[in-house]
Amino acid sequence: MMAKYIQGGLEEIHSFILETTKGAQTKDKNIQDVKTLISVKDYVESVFSLNDEIILKIDCLEESLKMFADHGIAKDSQIKQIKKLTDDFTSLKKLAKDIKKEITPLVNNENEKTVSMIKKNEEDLKVYTTEMKKRDFY
């Protein structure tokens, strides 16, 4: 039962790292497109928001494997895999930090555009409302 837990945990962390690395990459993506930019931003933010949870899972799995190794039950491949996952997660955090620096100006620019469009629409709505109140049928 514990062996299945360890294998499942290793696979879960491995798939998270692969998926997030692929999603956060800006290479071969048009990050000028807002939807793509938001997608990349979400992947980058997930690295930072789930950082503590992933580190805790890796630590728990590593300690479980150490306990199994002390009793001669652990597989060498799993011990190597957990060390590789630790290194991969560290690389992913560095990648996320670099990509965040890269996309921050674009995100801020899109944010400013959106805020200005909202303000313009609110002003247009106020003008429209006052014009409607001036009419006889309102």
For residues 78 and 87, give the distance between their C-alpha atoms in angstroms, rounded to a whole number. 14
pLDDT tens profile 14-40 = 999 999 999 998 888 888 889 999 999
Per-residue pLDDT tens for 33-68?
Answer: 899 999 999 999 999 999 999 999 999 999 988 888
Q: Hey, what are 49's tokens?
A: 């928001």
- Tell me, what's the pLDDT at 2? 77
Look at the block and give the residue holding tokens 């290793």: 10
- In our burial notation (b when 16+ CB lie closer than 10 A, e otherwise), range 30-69 reads ebeeeeebeebbebbebbeeeeeebeebbeebbebbeebe
CB 12 within 8 A of CB 5: no
As assigned by CATH, the class of the 2-102 domain is mainly alpha
Average model confidence (pLDDT) across the chain: 91
